[in-house]
Amino acid sequence: MDDRTNTIAGWVLAGCGAALGLSIVGGMLFHGERPEKMGYAIEGVVEEGAGGGAAEVAIASLLPTADAAKGAEVFKKCAACHTINQGGANGIGPNLYATLGEGIAQGKGGYAFTDALKGVGGKWDFDKMNAWLTSPRKFAPGTKMTFAGLGSAEDRANVILYLNQQGSNLPLPAAPAAGAEPAAAGDQPATANAAEAAVENGGDTADIANTGTAASGAPSVDPEAARKGARTEQ
């Protein structure tokens, strides 16, 4: 083997060694590990699959201080698919004029709602609209609505107030008392519960009707007189 061949072989080996060294150094400098959280967060939009903790804020407590003008700005995110003027045409989504108070997935000039939304039932009230705007896919699994939702409770309150002013004009719900927990569905007033308990225990409901409290409370009217009066009326 002549000197020229030896020189070529030496350069080839040197090049391979340099490439290997650069590969090792590059691997040390630039990690190829998957990041813990993919992508970038978009302000005001709920992350897909997120728990939707913002929905824990009672919408009734935010509506009294909501700003419809800001809601109109938020609604611009919806304008690509929805019109909101009276008599407006349906687009990718239905026209939203006078939606609050209307039956869910009903009317709207024959718009083709999905069975998923039709199956929800009831009417669009403030709580349902809040849940829908938080995450349409969680509110009606299987809906064709592709919007991920609004993560900001304030944004939802503002846009709901704006929607309400566009042909609905429902009275705003009373704000919950400070520290009070939302009443569970099917809860009955205390007087009704007390009346049922009195009947089950063989008691007389006249005391509850007269005092507004259970029979064990101090009545404002003589219970015996109330019972006599009730029997006389019968």
| Confidence at residue 28, expressed as pLDDT on a 0 to 100 scale | 63
Q: What is the mean pLDDT of residues 201-206?
A: 41
For the chain, give every domain's residue range: 53-165, 190-233
- Please tell me the pTM assigned to this model: 0.55
Instruction: Dig out the tokens for 10 from the structure.
Output: 């030496």
| Other residues' Cβ atoms within 10 Å of the Cβ of residue 229 | 14
Computed over every residue of the chain, the mean pLDDT equals: 73
Higher-pLDDT residue of 27, 98: 98
Contact, 71 vs 160, CB < 8 A?
A: yes
Predicted confidence (pLDDT) per residue in 79-104, tens digit: 999 999 999 999 999 999 999 999 99
**For residue 167, what are the CA distances in angstroms to 106, 111, 113, 115, 144?**
16, 18, 21, 26, 25
CATH C-level class of 53-165:
mainly alpha
Percent of the chain with pLDDT over 70: 61
